[in-house]
Amino acid sequence: MAITYTSGEQVEVYRFSIPATVLIPLGALFLQVWLPLKFPFFLIFDLPLLVTIGFATARRNPLAGLVTGSVIGIMQDALMHQPIGLFGIAKTVVGFGASSLGIKLDVENAGARFLLTILFYGVHEVVYFVTARGLIGLRMARSWPHELLSCLANALLGVFVFMLLDRVKKRT
Amino acid sequence: MDVLGRYRNLIVLVGVLFAQVLGLAVQVRRTTDNEPTRLIRIWAVGAVTPLEKVLSWARTSTSDVWHNYFYLRGVRAENRALKAEIERMNLEQVRISQDADQARRLQALLSFKEQFISQTMAAQVIGSSGSELSRSVYIDKGEKDGIRPDMAVITADGIVGKVLRVYRSTSVVLLINDQTSGVGALLDKTRLQGILHGTPAGEVQLEKVMSDEAVLAGEQVLTSGGDGIFPKGLLIGKVTSVSQGSELFLNIHVRPAADLSKLEEVLVVTKIDERQAAPDQTGAARAVDILAERLPSVPVKPDANDKTPATAKPANPATLPANLPANVPAKTEAGGKPKPVPSGPSTAQTLTPSVTPATASNTTKPLPKPVKAMTEGKPQPPADSQPVEDAPH
């Protein structure tokens, strides 16, 4: 496992084609709302979050990361019946953080990606919790074992999602 | 200027976050009637649901082809079992219709208004909210199909939720286990009323029932009709546990009768009618009435002015269909059209419940001896031809 500190010149920056940029987040959103109907346990995953982290770390551009995060988050909010912005804010922060960290660290291997997903899953949950409780006053039921399980499950799935994203990303 | 360039990313981040926080504040202040985010929701739903519809259609079609044309193993046996079930249910229906008639008569006496579902629309569930933080599903029917917000959504097992948002060809259904939902509910036996809420964990809880009331696990919970969305009397679920809650109220946990995590098809209640309760004049005739009508009974003492001879009369003429001659019993078809019932023993055999013990105790037991004879297949002479004095006791 290697999470190494690198200079900006050493890390490789990738880009995604326009169809991939549009269709992959849409596909993630689609699977997120469709799969739980057949497999209710799938609700513990957050595919749009994994795609946000994957795009942000590959592009290594904080502005692109935050825009990607906010768009995916707002779309996810729109599919739920909660006020739009809760997931938007959380994923904006994650997108910005993941791309900023991507500049500093080499996150090309599976171990680093696993840890990175755990970190940003935690950030996402904290930001969401603070926003939902502080701004909206939503009641939230949080169970630590469930959160831990969800975090690990997302980190594992994240490794595979990033491998799939590797196939469509292009070196700039 | 140099500072702005250096912190450009951070400034953009703060700007984007500020804009979203501002947007949240606006949404929280406004009511849902004037939703400022409707356009964003339409775009998001429009981007995702077409694929869901296609997949849902493909899955249903494949399943239909497989089950209707290829996988027919055991269909004959199942058919036989279903026919037997129908027979049993027909007998059960006779008993239930008696109770219903009685209830209608009582309601009519008290000038009650009753609500009933007069129109529903079947819809397929094509998507979920995709998060444990929001319990809702998407259905494949929308505005163009006549769906409107606040319509009740049910299954054969129990209620599911209500229509929250309607788009052109899809709708969002808020499930009863969502923390923002609320359903007027009452307990079946104790008739205590409360409000059913979802919890953040996705469970269902009945609130506002005073802690000095006796509520037992296993009791059924029904809709009370007080919310103006669900008609009264629909099954919600069963009480699973009862504990002392905050203040003066009980914490009553309810397990929904409908499996909310595996919904495939639902019914949207598109029309609820309200009418003054009146005794059913077109419903199925009761077996006892039909039999009583054929049998002689103690006649009403003729009035001094009444010169007509004393003949046998139905025990309860009020329950006979109004559009039929007094001594012609009727049987209602599925569409509610009265159909003459052939006279003779077969009628009694058809309508006299004899399978389920409960049914038998309700109807067969109080019948006089000739009924037994009829059920055994011995023909009886017409009631009005038999003199009163010969009536067996």
Instruction: Please state, in angstroms and as integers, the Cα–Cα distance from residue B217 to each residue in B183, B236, B239, B247, B389, following that order.
Output: 20, 14, 5, 21, 56
CA distance linking residue B140 with residue B265, whole number of Å: 10
Query: In this complex, which of A33, A66, A67 lies closest to B129 when CB atoms are compared?
Result: A33
Report the 10 Å Cβ neighbour count for B228.
11
Mutate to test the interface with A, among B60, B131, B137 (most CBs of A within 10 A): B131
Strands A169-171 and B113-128, how do they pair? Answer: unpaired
Residue-level pLDDT at B20 = 92
Separation between Cα atoms, residue A37 and residue B39, nearest integer Å: 26
Residue B302, pLDDT score = 53
- Does residue B136 sit at the A interface (CB-CB below 8 Å)? yes
Nearest-CA residue of chain A relative to B47?
Answer: A26
Q: Which residue has the higher pLDDT, A8 or A66?
A: A66
In this predicted structure, the answer to whether residue A117 has a pLDDT above a threshold of 90 is yes
Phi, psi of A115 (to 5 degrees): -65, -40
- Residue B131 is which amino acid? S
Do A105 and A3 form a contact (C-beta atoms < 8 A)?
A: yes
How far apart CA B209 and CA B195 sit, in angstroms, is: 8
Residue A66 has pLDDT above 90, yes or no: yes
**Residues of A in Cβ contact (< 8 Å) with B11:** none
Selection from B168, B125, B126 nearest residue B268 by Cα: B125
Exposure string of B136-156, with b = 16+ CB inside 10 Å and e = fewer, is: bbbbbbbeebebeeebbbbbe
Query: How far A113 CA lies from chain B's nearest CA (Å)?
Result: 23
A79:B20 CB<8 A: no
Which pLDDT score is estimated for B271? Answer: 85
The interface predicted TM-score of the complex, written ipTM, equals 0.84
Question: For residue B366, what pLDDT is reported?
Answer: 38
pLDDT of residue B381: 41
Q: B140 and B123 in contact (C-beta within 8 Å)?
A: yes
Six-digit token pair at B215?
């509520």
Q: What's residue B151's pLDDT?
A: 93
Q: How far is B86 from chain A (nearest CA, A)?
A: 32
Q: Give the 3-state secondary structure of residue B86.
A: helix
B178 touches chain A (CB under 8 A): yes
- B9 contacts in A (CB within 8 Å)? 62-63, 66, 96, 100
Tokens of A133: 């409780």
CA B100 to chain centre: 15
B26 touches chain A (CB under 8 A): no
Q: Which of B17, B28, B134 sits opposite A92 (nearest CB)?
A: B17
Task: Return d(Cα A33, Cα A87) in angstroms, integer.
Answer: 15
Q: What is the pLDDT of residue A125?
A: 93
- Stated length of chain B: 393
Question: B84 exposed, middle or buried (CB, 10 Å; 0-12, 13-18, 19+)?
Answer: exposed
What is the mean pLDDT of each successive set of 10 residues along chain B, which is 393 residues long?
78 92 83 68 86 84 83 86 93 88 78 72 90 89 92 92 92 92 90 89 87 84 88 90 82 92 90 67 53 56 49 40 36 38 37 36 37 38 40 38
Q: How far is CA B165 from CA A31, A43, B56, B120, B179, in A?
A: 21, 22, 20, 18, 17
- For residue B342, the model assigns a pLDDT of 39
Region for residue B218 given its phi and psi (left: phi exceeds 0; alpha: psi -120 to 50; beta: otherwise): left
Q: Could you state, in order of their start, the residue ranges of all structural domains in chain B?
A: 113-275, 287-302+309-390
> What's the pLDDT at A75?
93
Residue A87, pLDDT score: 94
Kindly report the number of other CB atoms within 10 A of residue B97's CB atom: 17
Positive or negative: CA dihedral B272, B277, B278, B282: positive
Residue among A121, A126, A108 at smallest CA distance from A157? A121
Complete DSSP assignment for A109-120: SHHHHHHHHHHH
Please state which architecture CATH assigns to domain B113-275.
Beta Barrel (2.40)
> Is B91 at the interface with chain A, CB within 8 A?
no
For residues A106-117, give the mean pLDDT. 88
Q: Which residue has the tokens 């979050």?
A: A49
**Under 8 Å CB-to-CB from B61, ≥6 apart: which residues?**
none
Q: What integer pLDDT is reported at residue A149 of this predicted model?
A: 93
Angle at B195 between CA B189 and CA B200, to 5 degrees: 120
Q: Which of A42-46, A91-95, B313-317 has the lowest mean pLDDT?
A: B313-317
So what's the pLDDT on residue B341? 38
Chain A / chain B CB contacts < 8 angstroms? 140
